[in-house]
Each structure stands twice: as C-alpha cells, then as structure tokens.
C-alpha cells in the first residue's frame, strides 16, 4: 500500500518525468507509457528511494482516484488534530509507578522523554534515512554509471563535495535527484 503522506518521482530512463503526490505521478506515468518509443518508466518513493509498481489501467480520473488518499475517517475521541495515535506500551510495574508519579501522567512524560531523546540525537536519524533513500535510488538507476561505488562511499561519509564531484558526469536529472535525496533531511523524517 503506498504512503499518501509523501512524494514520489518518476523517471523515464534517466530523465525525470514527474514528481509530487502519487496520484499526479501515476497519471504522468500512464501518459508516458502510451509512447512505445519511450524508455522504461520507474517510480520511486522520495522518502525511501524504493521503486514501486503502479497500476495505470483506466482513465486519468480512475488512476488519480486509485492513488489518492482515502477520505478522512469520522472524527473520534482523542486529539486527532495533534496527530495523537493510541498504541500499546509494555513496561515493568516499577516503570508504570514512576510514570504515574510524574506531572501530567504517563503520556505527557513519555512524549517529553521521546522529544528529549530526539533532540539529543540531533539529525543523525534523518541523515541516515536520507542517505539510505539516496543509495537505494542510486543503486537502481545509477548502479552501472561511472563512479557509482565511490559516490556511495562519499554519500555514507557525508562528504557532499566529494559526492557532487563524483556524480558530476551522471545524467542531469539523476544527479540532481540523488543529491536532493541524499542531502535534504527535512523530508526524511517521520
């Protein structure tokens, strides 16, 4: 099941075809596939770098509907505007006791602990996810290009200058997209 909360990018060969919500990208893919002389089209998740298959049968409206987010569920209890999601947490009795004694209770304390841990770790997790997404994309579309292995090493070493030097001769759209995935961390978070 595709994730409707982030963007996707389609490539026809090494040329970027479309980028944006999956519903828009899927329609663009359908139109590109009508050209029998066009190179194969691949669609990538901008969050993970993974390629995915799309069902492009039907009209543009049917395709757009198929890859649009489902309608919002009726509002229930809780704080949906804040994005609060109820999940199970398993702790030892002494942990529950300590949490119960904290100001605001267990939920407030757990949220504060998670936020503190994320701040302490900085953007390390975002950098790692971005590098993994870029590598996954690069492996599929640029795995046979010159300097691929060296570029991958520079990527995981967070050496942007060296990375850009190594991919400078790659096709423009592949180079730009790989760099965007690798070194733009804002879209890589949860």
Domain boundaries, the chain: 1-108, 124-188
Mean pLDDT within 122-142: 91
User: Can you give the pLDDT at residue 180?
Assistant: 95
What digits encode the pLDDT tens for the residues 32-90? 998 888 899 999 999 999 999 999 999 999 999 999 988 766 666 656 566 677 778 88
- Chain mean pLDDT for the chain: 87
Beta strand 15-20 with 51-52: parallel, antiparallel or unpaired?
unpaired
Give 154 or 118, the one with higher predicted confidence: 154
Q: For tokens 């991958």, what's the residue?
A: 152
User: Can you give the pLDDT at residue 190?
Assistant: 38
The Cα–Cα gap between 68 and 52 comes to 16
User: Can you give the pLDDT at residue 32?
Assistant: 93
The alpha-helical segments, DSSP class H, found in the chain are 22-33, 60-66, 93-101, 105-120, 124-142, 148-156, 160-166, 172-183
Q: For tokens 């592949």, what's the residue?
A: 174
Q: pTM of this prediction?
A: 0.75
**Please, which pLDDT band fits residue 187 given cuts at 50, 70 and 90?**
very low
The answer to whether residue 186 scores a pLDDT higher than 60 is no
What digits encode the pLDDT tens for the residues 77-112? 656 566 677 778 888 889 888 888 888 888 888 888
């Amino acid at each position: 099941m595709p994730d409707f909360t982030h963007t996707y990018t389609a490539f026809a060969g090494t040329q970027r075809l479309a980028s944006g919500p999956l519903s828009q990208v899927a329609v663009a893919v359908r139109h590109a596939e009508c050209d029998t002389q066009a190179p194969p089209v691949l669609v990538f998740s901008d969050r993970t770098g993974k390629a995915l298959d799309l069902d492009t049968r039907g009209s543009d409206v049917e395709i757009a509907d198929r890859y649009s987010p489902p309608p919002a569920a009726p509002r229930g209890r809780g704080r949906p505007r804040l994005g609060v999601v109820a999940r199970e947490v398993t702790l030892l009795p002494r942990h529950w006791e300590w949490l119960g004694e904290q100001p605001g209770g267990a939920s407030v304390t757990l949220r504060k602990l998670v936020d503190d841990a994320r701040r302490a770790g900085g953007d390390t997790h975002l950098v790692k996810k971005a590098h993994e997404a870029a590598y996954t994309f690069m492996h599929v579309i640029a795995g046979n290009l010159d300097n691929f292995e060296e570029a991958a090493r520079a990527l995981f070493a967070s050496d942007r200058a060296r990375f850009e030097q190594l991919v400078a001769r790659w096709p423009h759209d592949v180079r730009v997209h790989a760099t965007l995935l690798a070194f733009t961390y804002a879209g890589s978070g949860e």
